[in-house]
């Protein structure tokens, strides 16, 4: 099936450390044109670490764009050419200090395909081994363990509002056959 839009012009607006912005002019099937604003973002990973007692390791960190402290699964961007599982292992270790004996791919999904190119790969991490975190200079992360069943309920109560974390929790709940 052919895409209904064809890019006829691309204008680069901004390139930052995390995102780029371009405006594509596209031709439409009716002969008209339209402009599409596109946020370019590298692929990323999110990891749901679950210990042997069924507790999930979550991070509490301040997110400036929404001016709020959020409870989230560990996550981060992939480096150019990096394998998704290798990125998941790296991010888990850097942000939490933990490593995982087993890393299982649950799903990959576009974060917000209406305007952003980011493809996120979600992993379930088990067989956790504690270590020392090595966060980036601008990351201030508090980690906490929460029973997985409680974390699932925290979605409905509005205590967990981060989309990637909600997806990871629901995917893990199904994979682990846990009923909340």
Same domain, 169 and 108: yes
Task: Work out the average pLDDT over 149-162.
Answer: 98
Same domain, 50 and 30: no
Give the structural domain span for 90: 44-175
- 139 against 7, higher pLDDT: 7
Query: Active site residue: 59, 137, 159, 173, which one?
Result: 137
Pairing of strands 44-49, 119-129: parallel
Q: What is the structure's pLDDT at 105?
A: 98
Same domain, 33 and 51: no
Q: What is the structure's pLDDT at 116?
A: 98
What are the pLDDT digits (tens) for 59-77? 999 999 999 999 999 999 9
What are the pLDDT digits (tens) for 11-39? 999 999 999 999 999 999 999 999 999 99
**Number of domains comprising the chain:** 2
Q: What is the CATH number of the domain that holds 94?
A: 3.90.79.10
Percent of the chain with pLDDT over 70: 97
- Establish whether 137 is a catalytic residue: yes
Task: Work out the average pLDDT over 144-161.
Answer: 97
Long-range CB contacts for residues 133-141, cutoff 8 Å, separation at least 24: 133/93, 133/94, 133/95, 133/96, 133/97, 134/93, 134/94, 134/97, 135/94, 135/95, 136/94, 139/61, 139/95, 140/61, 140/62, 141/59, 141/60, 141/61, 141/95, 141/96
**Sign of the torsion angle spanned by Cα atoms 155, 175, 56, 95:** negative
Paired residues of 107 in beta bridges: 122
Residue 1 domain-assigned? no
Going by pLDDT thresholds of 50, 70 and 90, the confidence category of residue 133 is confident
Same domain, 61 and 136: yes
Under a CB-based contact definition with an 8 Å cutoff, are residues 127 and 91 in contact? no
Q: What is the structure's pLDDT at 140?
A: 82
Q: Does 48 have pLDDT greater than 60? A: yes
Q: What is the structure's pLDDT at 180?
A: 53
Same domain, 142 and 73: yes
- 139 against 6, higher pLDDT: 6
Q: Does 102 have pLDDT greater than 80? A: yes
CA distance 59 to 38: 29
Same domain, 69 and 135: yes
Q: What is the structure's pLDDT at 179?
A: 61
What are the pLDDT digits (tens) for 75-90? 999 999 999 999 999 9
Q: Does 57 have pLDDT greater than 70? A: yes
Residue 157 domain-assigned? yes
- Three-state secondary structure readout of 68-106: EEEEECCEEECCCCCCHHHHHHHHHHHHHCCEEEEEEEE
Residue 147 domain-assigned? yes
Q: Which residues contact 45 (CB under 8 A, 6 or more apart)?
A: 75, 76, 78, 84, 87, 88, 91, 120, 121, 122, 123
Same domain, 65 and 126: yes
pTM given for the model:
0.91
């Amino acid at each position: 099936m052919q895409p209904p839009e064809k890019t006829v012009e691309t204008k680069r607006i901004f390139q930052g450390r995390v995102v780029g912005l371009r405006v594509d002019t596209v031709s439409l099937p009716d002969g008209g044109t339209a402009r599409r604003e596109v946020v370019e973002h590298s692929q990323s990973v999110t990891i749901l670490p679950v210990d042997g007692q069924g507790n999930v390791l979550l991070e509490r960190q301040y997110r400036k764009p929404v001016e709020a402290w959020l409870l989230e699964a560990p996550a981060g961007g992939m480096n150019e050419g990096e394998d998704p599982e290798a990125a998941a292992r790296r991010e888990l270790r850097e942000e939490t200090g933990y490593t995982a004996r087993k890393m299982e791919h649950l799903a990959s999904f576009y974060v917000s395909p209406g305007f952003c190119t980011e493809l996120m790969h979600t992993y379930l991490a088990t067989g956790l081994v504690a270590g020392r975190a090595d966060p980036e200079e601008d990351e201030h992360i508090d980690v906490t363990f929460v029973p997985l069943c409680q974390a699932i309920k925290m979605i409905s109560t509005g205590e967990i509002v981060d989309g990637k974390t909600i997806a990871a929790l629901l995917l893990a709940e199904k994979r682990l056959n846990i009923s909340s």
